[in-house]
Amino acid sequence: MTELSTPPRRTHPLSPFAKAGQGLSGLVIAVFFFARDIPGGFFARLALVALLLIGAGLLGWVSWWRTTFWFDDDGDLRVASGLFYRNERRLQLSRLQSVEITRPLVARLVGLAEVRPEVAGGENAKIALAYLSEAEASSLRAELLARAAGVRVGHVDAPEPQERPLIRVPAGDLALSMALNHWVIIGTVLGAGFLLTSLLTGHIGGFLAFVFASGLPSLSIVNGYLAYYDFTVAESADGLRLRAGLLSTSSQTVPPGRVQAVRISQPLLWRWKGWVRVQLNVAGSGGHEGNDRSNGTRGSVMLLPVGPVEVAYGLLARVLPGVDIPGVTLVPAPRAARRRSPFQYSQLAAGSDAALFVARGGWLTRGLDVVPHARTQSVRVTQGPWQRLLGLATTHVDSTPGPVTPAARQRSGADARRLAESQAVLAGAARAASRPERWAARPEGTS
């Protein structure tokens, strides 16, 4: 049996400087502009800045020195940190959901990267190793994924598995898709109206409204473009690799079998292009408190920011192997649902087959939510007063936190309950047949 533990390591010595780089400019500006009362003028302020820099640098350096990480005897990752109060955290690798590597702009310029292993339900146990050299980061990721899969590598480096590129989103399509957002169009039209009134009446208020109505949506275009620029999906032995970003880049690996639910959606203006977006619920992924550079909010992974329907289904075949999403028979909502949800009535439908629950809905943005039965957490039936009057109810299939919240909306009452009961039975049956957590481990007794 190989040795599982490794000696403690430190992050890259440049880490404190790369981390400080982000807050530093703010500090310098603050001192120069807000500390006018300091006697002695310019040079006193300069001295103060230098003093603060030295202090901050020293603190940063000591806290860097005090932070170490290693693999313990059980093969789990441990991180010890803390200046005065020592704090040791343990990341249980059997619960590893995905590993993300991000490169914020400053770190990227000096060739550093941050590694974020994601565990299920670990809200208070977020671990981010910042920063490692890029080579070290990718070898650590490979090691984490290999250990999580049950490959006993000991302290030798796990080889980075070969990658096979699957798709790349063209920059032109991405830019157009971000602009083809109905809220952006509405905002621009509104903004143009405000601007016109402002020019005609000479009021500043109209101009401010223009800035809000047109500026904020445009900002979302730019943000989306920067975040998803050069989005690529590649397949490797340890899972799907998702890479994106223009200034700050991120690279995320989702191991097989960790996808909890899928949402395929299509905003209004994408219909004529035939484009869709694909998002995933992955337990414990994304959504770090503080600055959220990672891929969306908590539990959310963008699998495809924009692409043709066929490409989306091609990718989904790798994420959920052996399932047939378009093949699931969907039962439309009853006529009474028109009175409760007139706008999305024509889209409302739901159904399930041996492996999946599928629900369709939405008005401006249409969506298809998919949950494998083996990933269903619980089932709920809800009914509000207006629904009760119409004899309707909604069946929710609960998934882990994320962008996908699957529900068969506005079913007839009896149907909603029947659906819920059958979902609970299917979920139980599918769970019994699901695969083990350490999917690459050899059977017991052979290690």
Site string for another protein, 66-85 (x = CB under 8 A): --------------------
Query: Of the two residues 132 and 145, which places its CB atom closer to another protein in the complex?
Result: 145
The arrangement of strands across the sheet holding 349-352 comes to 300-308, 275-282, 259-266, 366-372, 356-361, 349-352, 331-332
Verify binding: residue 356, another protein, rule CB under 8 A. no
* Minimum CB–partner distance for residue 441 and another protein (Å): 13
151-156: Cβ within 8 A, 24+ apart: 151/440, 151/441, 152/1, 152/2, 152/4, 152/75, 152/447, 153/2, 154/2, 154/3, 154/4, 154/6, 155/3, 155/5, 155/6, 155/7, 155/71
Token pair, residue 232, equals 């690529």
Q: Is 262 helix (H, G, I), strand (E, B) or coil?
A: strand
Verify binding: residue 254, another protein, rule CB under 8 A. no
Query: Of the two residues 224 and 361, which places its CB atom closer to another protein in the complex?
Result: 361
Angle between helices 182-201 and 216-228 (to 10 degrees): 140
Site string for another protein, 280-319 (x = CB under 8 A): ---x------------------------------------
* Minimum CB–partner distance for residue 243 and another protein (Å): 25
**Residues in contact with another protein, total (CB under 8 A)?**
44
* Of residues 100, 153, 120, the one with CA closest to residue 440: 153
Distance (Å, rounded) from C-alpha 345 to C-alpha 341? 6
Verify binding: residue 381, another protein, rule CB under 8 A. yes
Given candidates 346, 377, 442, 447, which one binds another protein under the rule CB under 8 A?
377
Given candidates 400, 408, 409, 410, which one binds another protein under the rule CB under 8 A?
400
Given candidates 363, 414, 442, 447, which one binds another protein under the rule CB under 8 A?
414
Verify binding: residue 413, another protein, rule CB under 8 A. yes
Verify binding: residue 378, another protein, rule CB under 8 A. yes
Judge whether 397 and 382 are in contact, CB under 8 Å. Answer: no
Given candidates 158, 349, 390, 408, which one binds another protein under the rule CB under 8 A?
390
Positions in 144-163 near another protein (CB under 8 A): none
Verify binding: residue 441, another protein, rule CB under 8 A. no
* Of residues 143, 147, 157, 154, the one with CA closest to residue 4: 154
Verify binding: residue 193, another protein, rule CB under 8 A. no
* Minimum CB–partner distance for residue 95 and another protein (Å): 8
Cβ-proximal residues to 347 (8 Å cutoff; 6+ apart), any chain: 360, 361, 362, 363, 366
* Minimum CB–partner distance for residue 210 and another protein (Å): 39
Q: Is 235 helix (H, G, I), strand (E, B) or coil?
A: strand
Verify binding: residue 428, another protein, rule CB under 8 A. yes
Distance (Å, rounded) from C-alpha 332 to C-alpha 279? 24
Distance spanning both ends of the chain, measured CA to CA: 7
What is the DSSP code string of 183-197? Answer: HHHHHHHHHHHHHHH
* Of residues 291, 265, 269, 268, the one with CA closest to residue 280: 265
Distance (Å, rounded) from C-alpha 75 to C-alpha 1? 12
* Minimum CB–partner distance for residue 89 and another protein (Å): 20
Cβ-proximal residues to 39 (8 Å cutoff; 6+ apart), any chain: none
* Minimum CB–partner distance for residue 427 and another protein (Å): 6
Verify binding: residue 342, another protein, rule CB under 8 A. no
Token pair, residue 287, equals 């959504």
* Minimum CB–partner distance for residue 11 and another protein (Å): 30
* Minimum CB–partner distance for residue 227 and another protein (Å): 25
Given candidates 401, 403, 409, 410, which one binds another protein under the rule CB under 8 A?
401
The full length of the chain comes to 447
Site string for another protein, 89-128 (x = CB under 8 A): -------------------------------xx-------
Query: Of the two residues 18 and 374, which places its CB atom closer to another protein in the complex?
Result: 374
Verify binding: residue 50, another protein, rule CB under 8 A. no
- Give the residues lining the site for another protein (CB under 8 A): 120-121, 258, 260, 283, 375-385, 388-391, 393, 396, 398-401, 405, 412-414, 416-417, 420-421, 423-425, 427-428, 431-432, 434, 436-437
